[in-house]
Amino acid sequence: MGILRQFNPMLHKLNSVSSKIIFPYLLLTLIVAGVGAYVVTNLATSSLRERFDNQLLDAGRIVSESIVELEREQIRVHRTVTFTDGLGRALVERDIEELEEIIPPLALNNNVDLVSVLDQDGLEVFGWQRSPGSDVGLNTTLNDFSTFQDVAFVLSGQTDNLGDKRVVLAELNGQLIVFTVGPVEVNGEITGAVVVGDYLNDMVNELTSRAIARVTFYDPQGNVLASTLSNDFDLLAEDEGLYEEVVQLLATTPEQVKVVIESAEESVPLRELTILEQSYRLAYGDWRLRGRTFGIFSVALPSNFIASAVATSGRLLAFLFAISTMAVLFLGFVIARRIIRPLEQLVDVSTAVVEGDFERRTNIEQGDEIGDLARSFDMMTNYLVTRNREFAAQASNLNTILNSIADALVVLDQDGHIVNTNEAAREILSVTSFTNGSTPPINPDSALMDVFMADTRGDAITYELGERVYSVLSAPVNDAEQGFLGRVVVLRDI
């Protein structure tokens, strides 16, 4: 064991009682903490994701409902303009001054971006259009709406299941406008049409403020028409490449548009998107105006906070995990020391006893198994001390008896080695050793050794040693269990 500790201390530490106490609890703590952290993190992430998706879907519903409200508001303004007194007569007579007195105030009061009065050919008789991003408007008379099929549909007197009005998405003077066109009738005859419109960018901004989410409109081919996601980037107005990057990232495919339109009533498609290192989660919806699909829209919310929250939770769990691990190690160390300290004391005392120090005791007073073991060891040590004293007394008595015998007495073991002698025998053997020069000094010469080992069978053998003659008797010592143990030899000076 000492060699093992000396040459492989790491193996000894791993095999120590401390390791056997601490490591299982440490392993259990690691497993429980790891599983707990995984479960808690997943639950937290799922909860945050669910709440985030619900918020995103609520924003999508708000946008969808707001689109309908804006459409209804545009129809209301269209009716207000169409049924204004004097509008029909001024249109028939092409009275520009009268139209100039009617149209601009109505447009400003109803907060629309475009109001135009068309003749029967779809050409603008008079109109007013707000400049993008301002409240200043300009009178117009040169816009040509005759190329739009929906305008021709209205001027021809056709109707659909929703009535005689149509909604058009068109580009006028470099701006995308959503406008409603409806007929103007005088005496039951269609004499022209009224167009009321709003800039798509203004609609996107209004929807964004209502939904508190970034809104993007796409055409049926998946191309971006307008988006408030671009408002987050300061360089966007200066760098066309940046805007193109945003537009390309937001662009979707016609196949996705079809899926969104077909599943709009049943489910809401979701998508993850990263724009300039900012993560967004998008929900898509069908962009419908007066029952017709113009494309799709999306609402987007930044989702970085989810990763941030998960990271924060992970750091908190890691901190708690580290604290719990250190607590387990500390408690394990304390418990292990409480167990090992008496064991080490017991080992030290047992080593001292083995080395001959029979006065050492453990003196461990505990009510557990270690205390029982220590008390048993102390009792065993006391018993050994008592037995050693008894053996010492017996040996002393035996030596006294042997030394009191006048004849020389030699005790041999099974191999013929001398194990005990009395004083008379030591004097004879000393002479023999000196005479023959054998080593060690008490060993007899070979001739005398042959006499010692001879079985005399009760008959003495005469052996002359120097000037003296001895009568030698050799008797075997036998034990019922162990058999032959050795010989007892008696030398009598005759």
Res. 433: pLDDT tops 50: no
- Maximum Cα interatomic distance, the chain, rounded to a whole number of Å: 179
Residue 256 pLDDT greater than 70, yes or no? no
Q: Which two tokens stand for residue 226?
A: 């307008």
Q: What is the pTM of this model?
A: 0.56
Whose CA is closest to 155, among 183, 186, 116? 183
Query: pLDDT digits over 94-115, tens only?
Result: 999 999 999 999 999 999 999 9
Cα-Cα-Cα-Cα torsion 331, 332, 333, 339, nearest 10 degrees, comes to 110
Backbone φ/ψ region at 437: left (φ over 0), alpha (ψ -120 to 50), beta: left
Three-point CA angle 66, 67, 69, nearest 5°: 60
Place of tokens 């809104």: 215
Quote the crossing angle between the two packed helices 17-82 and 200-211, to the nearest 10°: 130
Q: Which two tokens stand for residue 28?
A: 């259990």
Given this structure, which CATH class describes domain 405-493? alpha beta
Pick the closest to residue 102 from 92, 93, 91, 111 (CA basis).
91
- CA nearest neighbour of 58 among 259, 227, 266, 268: 268
To 5 degrees, how large is the angle CA 240–CA 242–CA 246? 115
Q: DSSP label at 487? A: E
> What pLDDT score was predicted for residue 104?
93
- DSSP assigned state of 16: S
When pLDDT is cut at 50, 70 and 90, the band that residue 248 belongs to is: low
Q: Where do we find the tokens 């969808």?
A: 64
Q: Is the pLDDT of residue 13 over 70?
A: no
**Strand arrangement of the beta sheet that strand 418-421 belongs to:** 418-421, 408-412, 483-493, 468-479, 461-465
Most trustworthy range by pLDDT among 81-95, 213-227, 378-392, 438-452:
81-95
Q: How far apart are CA 413 and CA 415, in angstroms?
A: 5
Task: Using the predicted structure, report yes or no on whether residue 38 has a pLDDT greater than 80.
Answer: no
The separation between CA 197 and the C-alpha centre of its own chain, rounded to angstroms, equals 55
At the top level of CATH, which class does the domain 83-201 belong to?
A: alpha beta
**What pLDDT band is residue 432 in, cutting at 50, 70 and 90?**
low
Higher model confidence: residue 438 or residue 300? 300
C-beta of residue 280 within 8 angstroms of C-beta of residue 298: no
Cβ neighbours of 100 (radius 10 Å): 14
DSSP per position, 361-419: ------SSHHHHHHHHHHHHHHHHHHHHHHHHHHHHHHHHHHHH-SSEEEEE-TTS-EE
CA 278/CA 49 separation, integer angstroms: 17
- Residues 359-402 have pLDDT tens digits of 888 888 787 777 888 888 888 888 888 888 888 888 788 778 77
What ranges in 251-368 are assigned the alpha helix state H? 254-263, 304-354
What CA–CA distance (Å, rounded) separates 132 from 125? 22
CA distance 106 to 476: 145
Q: Would strands 189-199 and 175-186 be described as parallel, antiparallel, or unpaired?
A: antiparallel
What is the C-alpha separation between 214 and 211, in angstroms, rounded? Answer: 8
Is the separation of the CB atoms in 278 and 232 below 8 Å?
A: yes
Q: Which amino acid is at 375?
A: R
Write out the two tokens for 186: 């005088």
Q: Give start-end residues of each CATH 3.30.450.20 domain in the chain.
A: 83-201, 405-493
- The CB-side HSE value for 265 (13 A sphere, CA atoms) comes to 2
Is the pLDDT reported for residue 240 higher than 60? no
Is 420 within 8 Å of 402 (Cβ atoms)? yes
